[in-house]
């Protein structure tokens, strides 16, 4: 295991404080506290100081857990961690505090201002999210295993004819969820999507009692969580012999998805990656039916930086982990999405979701 020690992550954040023009960062977003400390409980906050005397806070329920998971930091036990740590910064006369303006509520900001009335409160500019976009090999190992669990669960489902005519979307989804847990997932990554027939034309359809029928597209979008890391994969199947329109749409999405994967290069602009796939869909005449971005980062969250979209910004770096998931949705008829989770590597992307993408007739 090559997981970076969380101290290394805090040190990297520390090097950003001067550029943010702050003397300390008050981290209140739980997933960021987890990333920087290893703490997995449901209430915590953290101060990262320029001088390295970082302080962690959680409440009494987590006293024992915190001493095991965060042994290397001073630990404060209080219910309202954000306020407690802001009061501490006030007592220490820290003049400039960086705070997570993208998640602190209006009420929360009022509370920080009351607790540290003399300090300048400045946005931390999603510094931790930016750091999290590039993974270390330990994180990639966790994600690779999460993807392998999802692959095995889907193989199990197909082997037992779990995606058959007469079954409901809800039944298929619950069975797939159960198989992921049996195969070692600590949790599913998100609510499993099972979308059949006309429902497959809805990008984020929630499973219903509709029963699968011959001639349907059946779209499964699902993932396993392992060590806090989220896999994400979509496969679309056909029940019975596919019609010509189904073969055509599937071939367009499959080719676009391959072009998108091949565009995952170190230094590539995310808008160019999106365009690599989208231009193929447009040229085939389905541009208006591809109604979302190409992909997103995955890791401690199912959707995180970077956003791979025509609305995105920035370039890809080595060891970013992200999805490539073009889709074409024909309202009232059906739709296809094909999604993989991959790692950006210097010598070309590493594919983590290994289930075949050939048109599979069940």
What is the contact surface with Zn ion in residues (CB under 5 A)? 221, 232, 234, 323, 339
Residues with Cβ within 8 Å of residue 93, at least 6 apart in sequence: 118
Rounded to a whole number of angstroms, the minimum distance from the CB of residue 1 to Zn ion is 26
The residue among 16 and 323 lying less far from Zn ion, judged by its C-beta, is 323
Rounded to a whole number of angstroms, the minimum distance from the CB of residue 265 to Zn ion is 20
Rounded to a whole number of angstroms, the minimum distance from the CB of residue 237 to Zn ion is 15
**Helix (H, G, I), strand (E, B), or coil: what is residue 93?**
coil
Rounded to a whole number of angstroms, the minimum distance from the CB of residue 221 to Zn ion is 4
Rounded to a whole number of angstroms, the minimum distance from the CB of residue 232 to Zn ion is 4
The residue among 75 and 230 lying less far from Zn ion, judged by its C-beta, is 230
CA 151 distance to own-chain centroid: 17
Rounded to a whole number of angstroms, the minimum distance from the CB of residue 199 to Zn ion is 16
Token pair, residue 22, equals: 């702050």
Which H or E run contains 35? helix 30-37
Rounded to a whole number of angstroms, the minimum distance from the CB of residue 308 to Zn ion is 10
The residue among 145 and 232 lying less far from Zn ion, judged by its C-beta, is 232
Measure the CA–CA gap between 201 and 220, rounded to whole angstroms: 12
Q: What are phi and psi of 251, to 5 degrees?
A: -65, -40
The residue among 232 and 274 lying less far from Zn ion, judged by its C-beta, is 232
Measure the CA–CA gap between 131 and 210, rounded to whole angstroms: 43
The residue among 119 and 336 lying less far from Zn ion, judged by its C-beta, is 336
The residue among 6 and 321 lying less far from Zn ion, judged by its C-beta, is 321
Residues with Cβ within 8 Å of residue 210, at least 6 apart in sequence: 168, 169, 196, 197, 199
The residue among 6 and 234 lying less far from Zn ion, judged by its C-beta, is 234
* C-alpha closest to that of 262 among 328, 336, 337, 316: 316
Rounded to a whole number of angstroms, the minimum distance from the CB of residue 291 to Zn ion is 14
Measure the CA–CA gap between 162 and 180, rounded to whole angstroms: 14
The residue among 73 and 153 lying less far from Zn ion, judged by its C-beta, is 153
Max Cα-Cα span within the chain:
72
The residue among 37 and 323 lying less far from Zn ion, judged by its C-beta, is 323
DSSP string of 233-253, one letter each residue = EEEEEESSSPPHHHHHHHHHH
Token pair, residue 262, equals: 């091949």
Measure the CA–CA gap between 343 and 243, rounded to whole angstroms: 35
Q: What are phi and psi of 230, to 5 degrees?
A: -105, 125
Rounded to a whole number of angstroms, the minimum distance from the CB of residue 128 to Zn ion is 22
Measure the CA–CA gap between 171 and 194, rounded to whole angstroms: 9
User: Half-sphere exposure of 175 toward its Cβ, with a 13 Å CA cutoff?
Assistant: 19
The residue among 59 and 232 lying less far from Zn ion, judged by its C-beta, is 232
Measure the CA–CA gap between 50 and 16, rounded to whole angstroms: 9
Cβ atoms of 213 and 165 within 8 Å: the answer is yes
Rounded to a whole number of angstroms, the minimum distance from the CB of residue 146 to Zn ion is 13
């Amino acid at each position: 295991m090559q997981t970076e020690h969380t101290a290394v992550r805090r040190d990297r954040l520390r090097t950003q404080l001067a550029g943010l023009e702050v003397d300390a960062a008050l981290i209140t977003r739980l997933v960021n506290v987890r990333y920087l400390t290893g703490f997995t409980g449901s209430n915590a906050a953290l101060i990262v100081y320029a001088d390295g005397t970082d302080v962690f806070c959680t409440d009494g329920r987590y006293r024992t857990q915190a001493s095991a998971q965060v042994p290397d930091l001073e630990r404060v036990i209080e219910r309202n961690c954000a306020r407690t740590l802001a009061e501490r910064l006030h007592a220490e006369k820290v003049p400039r505090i960086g705070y997570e303006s993208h998640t602190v509520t209006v009420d929360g900001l009022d509370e920080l201002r009351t607790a540290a009335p003399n300090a300048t409160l400045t946005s931390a500019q999603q510094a931790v999210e930016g750091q999290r976009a590039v993974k270390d090999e330990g994180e990639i190992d966790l994600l690779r295993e999460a993807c392998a669990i999802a692959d095995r669960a889907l193989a199990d489902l197909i082997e037992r004819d779990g995606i058959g005519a007469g079954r409901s979307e809800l039944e298929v989804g619950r069975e797939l969820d159960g198989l992921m847990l049996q195969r070692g997932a600590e949790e599913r990554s998100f609510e499993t999507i099972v979308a059949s027939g006309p429902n497959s034309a809805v990008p984020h359809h929630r499973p219903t009692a509709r029963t699968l029928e011959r001639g349907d597209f059946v779209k499964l979008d699902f993932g396993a969580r392992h060590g806090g890391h989220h896999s994400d994969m979509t496969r679309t199947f056909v029940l019975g012999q596919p019609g010509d329109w189904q073969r055509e749409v599937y071939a367009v999405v499959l080719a676009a998805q391959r072009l998108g994967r091949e565009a995952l290069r170190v230094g590539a602009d995310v808008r160019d990656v999106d365009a690599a796939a989208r231009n193929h869909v447009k040229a085939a005449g389905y541009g208006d039916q591809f109604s979302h971005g190409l992909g997103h980062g995955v890791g401690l969250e199912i959707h995180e930086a970077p956003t791979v979209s025509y609305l995105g910004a920035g370039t890809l770096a080595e060891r970013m982990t992200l999805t490539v998931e073009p889709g074409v949705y024909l309202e009232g008829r059906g739709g296809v999405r094909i999604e993989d989770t991959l790692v950006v590597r210097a010598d070309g992307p590493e594919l983590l979701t290994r289930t075949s993408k050939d048109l599979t007739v069940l």
